[in-house]
């Protein structure tokens, strides 16, 4: 149980385009979903927290207009990287939790390469 | 601001050895501490979760300890195997918060 999927697993795009990443909780309802970014040899850094039906809360330094997060249902959250640039190339991982205070279950990650 | 440090950054051991990975955190007001495993290019697999009121947790060949007052945790791996090769991440959840703060990880290589 407690499986989280992400799609796509990897994506290559041209600079200036937008990329959407999906995060799904497959066998449980996730009130809260988290989006992390991991650069090579760095730790996972929380980008934003989303609660179903409300606006996401972004961490300091993360541009909310660039990283659009939608959590429209209890099983799906999406992260859209708008006008992607090479510096946005990273490993994006989502996690899901039933209440936010409970265990977070992590997706397999999405590797984004912006050319 | 909570900071999590993991030492060493990388470790290489021969198969069969017992080993210890270290994690320290600056703010002892935590809700819990978790150890994760991350394989190259993959997501995270939760290994052990220790609540702030607990001292240790065990799962198979893994044992994690927590000394909240000193801000330290260790992950002990017994009889290491090549399949244990991965990056091990330590993360803490702050008290009254749901946010995980991660360390940079320890990259473990177990040599056959």
**Mean pLDDT confidence for A22-49:** 92
Of the two residues B24 and A102, the one the predictor is more confident about is B24
Q: Are A43 and B89 in contact (CB under 8 A)?
A: yes
**Mean pLDDT confidence for B27-53:** 91
Model confidence band, residue A110 (pLDDT cutoffs 50, 70, 90)? very high
Residue A5, classed as helix, strand or coil, is strand
Model confidence band, residue B34 (pLDDT cutoffs 50, 70, 90)? very high
Distance from CA of B79 to the nearest CA of A (A): 27
Distance from CA of A44 to the nearest CA of B (A): 6
The 8-class DSSP code of residue A9 comes to: S
Nearest alpha-carbon partner for A77 in A102, A96, A105: A96
What sign has the CA pseudo-torsion A104, A23, A69, A55?
A: negative
Residue A2, classed as helix, strand or coil, is coil
pLDDT digits (tens, 9 = 90+) for B2-18: 999 999 999 999 999 99
Work out the percent of chain A whose per-residue pLDDT is above 70.
97
Find chain A residues with C-beta within 8 A of B49's C-beta.
Answer: 103
Is B69's pLDDT higher than 90? yes
Is A114's pLDDT higher than 80? yes
Is A25's pLDDT higher than 80? yes
Of the two residues B95 and B24, the one the predictor is more confident about is B24
**Mean pLDDT confidence for A47-62:** 91
Is A81's pLDDT higher than 70? yes
Q: What is the 3-state secondary structure (H, E, C) of chain B?
A: CCCEEEECCEEEEECCCCEEEEEEECCCCEEEEEEEEECCCCCEEEEEEEECCCCEEEECCEEEEEECCCCEEEEEECCCCHHHCEEEEEEEEECCCCCEEECCCEEEEEEC
pLDDT given for residue B43 in this prediction: 85
Complete DSSP assignment for A45-80 = EEEEEEETTS--EEPTT--TTTEEEEEEETTEEEEE
Name the residue of chain B whose CA is nearest to A93's CA.
Answer: B43
Cβ contact, residue pair B89, A93, below 8 Å: no
Is A101's pLDDT higher than 70? no
**Mean pLDDT confidence for B36-50:** 90
Nearest alpha-carbon partner for B25 in B50, B60, B43: B50
**Mean pLDDT confidence for B85-98:** 89
Average pLDDT over all residues of chain A: 92
- Mutating which of B10, B32, B39, B43 best tests the A interface, going by the most A Cβ atoms within 10 A? B43
Cβ atoms within 10 Å of B93's Cβ, excluding its own:
22
Is A98's pLDDT higher than 90? no
Q: Are A57 and A48 in contact (CB under 8 A)?
A: yes
pLDDT given for residue B95 in this prediction: 80
């Amino acid at each position: 149980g407690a499986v989280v999927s992400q799609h796509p697993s990897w994506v290559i795009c041209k600079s200036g385009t937008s990329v959407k990443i999906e995060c799904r909780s497959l066998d449980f309802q996730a009130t809260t979903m988290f989006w992390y970014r991991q650069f090579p040899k760095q730790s996972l850094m929380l980008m934003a927290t989303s609660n179903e039906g409300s606006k996401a809360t972004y961490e300091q330094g993360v541009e909310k207009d660039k990283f659009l997060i939608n959590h429209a249902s209890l099983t799906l959250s999406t992260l859209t990287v708008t006008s992607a640039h090479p510096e946005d190339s990273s490993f994006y991982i989502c996690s899901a939790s039933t209440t936010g205070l409970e265990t977070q279950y992590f997706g397999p990650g999405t590797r984004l390469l912006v050319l | 601001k909570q900071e999590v440090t993991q030492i060493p950054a990388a470790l290489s051991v021969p198969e069969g050895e017992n080993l210890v990975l270290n994690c320290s955190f600056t703010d002892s007001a935590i809700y819990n501490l978790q150890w994760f495993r991350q394989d190259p290019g993959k997501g995270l697999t939760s290994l052990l979760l220790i609540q702030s009121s607990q001292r240790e947790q065990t799962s198979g060949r893994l044992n994690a300890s927590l000394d909240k007052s000193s801000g330290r945790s260790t992950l002990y791996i017994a009889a290491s195997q090549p399949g244990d090769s991965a990056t091990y991440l330590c993360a803490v959840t702050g008290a009254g918060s749901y946010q995980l703060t991660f360390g940079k990880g320890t990259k473990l290589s177990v040599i056959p």
